[in-house]
Amino acid sequence: MLTPTLDSLKEKVDSKYTLVTLASKRARQMQEEGTRLLTSYKSHKNVGKALEEVAAGVLSKEKQDDSIVYEDEV
């Protein structure tokens, strides 16, 4: 069983796709830098640890700057 539950995680982020992107980027950061935001984790893998950080509210999506225009949007 997934801990934390998908329902509790969806309360913290706006969509499943945002959750996947956020957790994967954070897991990569943990793997490369070894940084931790919580004192203890239930999960042994970095993706699970990232999801625990989202559930705890210490990891959230950054607000995108609407004034930035990317080349593919022109």
Core vs surface per residue 22-46: b (16+ CB within 10 A) or e: bbeebbeebeeeeeeeeeebeeeeb
Residue 28 structure tokens: 């990569």
Q: What is the pLDDT of residue 13?
A: 86
Q: What's the pTM value of the predicted model, to 2 decimals?
A: 0.76
Residues 3 and 42: their CA atoms lie apart, in Å, by 8
pLDDT, one tens digit per residue, over 15-73 is 888 889 989 999 999 999 988 888 898 989 999 999 999 988 887 777 666 666 666 65
Closest CA to 13 of 45, 44, 49, 51: 51
Q: What is the pLDDT of residue 8?
A: 85
Give residue limits of the domains in the chain: 6-59
Architecture of domain 6-59: Alpha-Beta Complex (3.90)
Q: What is the pLDDT of residue 73?
A: 57
